[in-house]
Amino acid sequence: MDGMKTDFSGSELEKAGMDYNPVTHTGEQTAYIALGANIGERERALYDALTHLQAQEKIQVVRCSAIYETDPVGYEDQPAFLNMTACVRTTLQPDELLMAMLAIEKQMGRVRDIRWGPRVIDLDLLWMGDTSWNTDLLTLPHPRMGERLFVLVPLADIVPESAVELHAFVHHALGTLDGKEGIRKWSPCKWPSESGLSASFED
């Protein structure tokens, strides 16, 4: 699921009773990121990406979902993916966070040659507090996250009830989608214990 801009009217969020107004903030915000990999050591790549995110001065990874193995979507002639989501806190603006994520993808060897094709790592910015964003590079909330079980199932692991709008959206969307047989739990999240870092699991 590419994190770059696609056409989005906000209708999906409006159906769930959620506002879609251009709003930005300057303080620390909570953001949700989707991670995926289907080339090489897939699980290792996910944990490496989390470590790279944590290493950024203005990003703190606060929790992550379980890892799920999922059938490919869109371009099906490729290996299965491992997918997860992470919750981060950051003082970066959405476009700055996206640039940091793209830099991590490049550092890890991501090549963009086939849309929805194989990748060593994929990072997508899904949601950032109550921020709405619509530029040539980025749309927030992510326009297709309500259509992707490989995003929604991991998100359901980590979005607390206190995040009222996002929690309602995730569980509403999960109730409307078929194909749950195409996603299988792979393992619990072993990060940050593997890296020796500590993180709060409270929102």
Cα end-to-end span (Å), the chain: 26
Higher local confidence (pLDDT), 117 or 55: 55
Record the pTM: 0.79
pLDDT for res 15: 37
Q: Predicted confidence band at 140 (pLDDT cuts at 50, 70, 90)?
A: confident
pLDDT for res 74: 66
pLDDT tens digits for 7-51?
223 333 333 333 333 344 558 999 999 999 988 899 999 999 999
Q: Is the peptide bond between 143 and the residue preceding it cis, with omega within 30 degrees of 0?
A: no
pLDDT for res 22: 37
Asked whether residue 192 carries a pLDDT value surpassing 90, the answer given is: no
Which residues are catalytically annotated? 110, 119, 122, 124
**Encoding tokens for residue 47?**
């944990």
pLDDT for res 132: 83
pLDDT tens digits for 64-114?
999 999 988 766 667 899 999 999 999 999 999 999 999 999 889 866 666
- Distance separating alpha carbons of residues 31 and 97, to the nearest angstrom: 9
pLDDT tens digits for 143-169?
889 888 999 999 999 999 999 999 999
pLDDT for res 131: 79
pLDDT for res 67: 96
* Domains of the chain, start order: 11-192 (3.30.70.560)
